[in-house]
Amino acid sequence: MKKNKISKNWIHRQKNDIYVRQSKIEGFRSRAVYKIKEIDEKFKIFNGHSCIIDLGAAPGSWSQYIKKKYKHTKVLAIDLLDFDKIEDVTQIIGDFTKDEYKEKIKSFFNKKVDVVISDMAVNTTGNKNLDAIVTGELCIEAMNFAYEQIDKKGKFVSKIFMGSSFNEIVADAKKKFKEVNIYKPLSSRKDSKESFIICKFLR
């Protein structure tokens, strides 16, 4: 009964979500597209010739947005889950945290990239503190990878949850990047603990 109630609440929320409706009208795969759109418009993340790594990409709306707005970008998208092909985007299905997949990403570009973006998060358990900690670990892993892969003017964007590891992640980011901002897009649900960390220019 409880599961059915949760499912009905989810369906009701989706039907009444303006971002869900808008994403369908505009042909995007999920409402998450408006998060990266807001971040890009506010912080100027991409340009027409960026080389971009999209971590935790499924179902692919972030990569869709990039290729639709910046046609000449070079994008590699990776996720554990198989997801439909996106035109002019190279896709890898695999675990980003494994060395073999990091090497595949590196060898694809064979040079420093401009941007690493990550919407990675664990499947929620209901324990918000635990979810924040584990998602924080993914953010740290992505940030360390970005630090190695982006050029000096490069940028890093990642989902981050408010929780016990939040301050530690921000402090680490400030050691690695000259400019660090925390931002919660309007399209991020109000009841969600997610924000995004936006980092620019390597120290």
CATH number for the domain including 72?
3.40.50.150
What pLDDT shows up at residue 161?
87
Compute the distance between CA of residue 62 and CA of residue 96 in angstroms, rounded to an integer.
17
Catalytic residue among 67, 155, 159, 193: 159
In this predicted structure, what is the pLDDT of residue 6? 46
Structure confidence at residue 18 (pLDDT):
85
**Is 159 assigned a catalytic role?**
yes
Question: What parts of the chain have a pLDDT lower than 50?
Answer: 2-3, 5-6, 8-12, 14
> Is residue 59 domain-resident?
yes
- Residue 20, domain member (yes or no): no
Count the domains in the chain.
1
Q: Which residues contact 38 (CB under 8 A, 6 or more apart)?
A: 185, 186, 187
Whether residue 51 lies inside any domain: the answer is: yes
Q: What is the pLDDT of residue 72?
A: 95
Among 36, 12, 10, which residue's Cα sits nearest to residue 23? Answer: 36
DSSP at 124: P
Average pLDDT, the chain: 89
Domain range enclosing 169: 34-202
Q: Is 4 domain-assigned?
A: no
In whole angstroms, give the CA distance from residue 167 to residue 132.
12
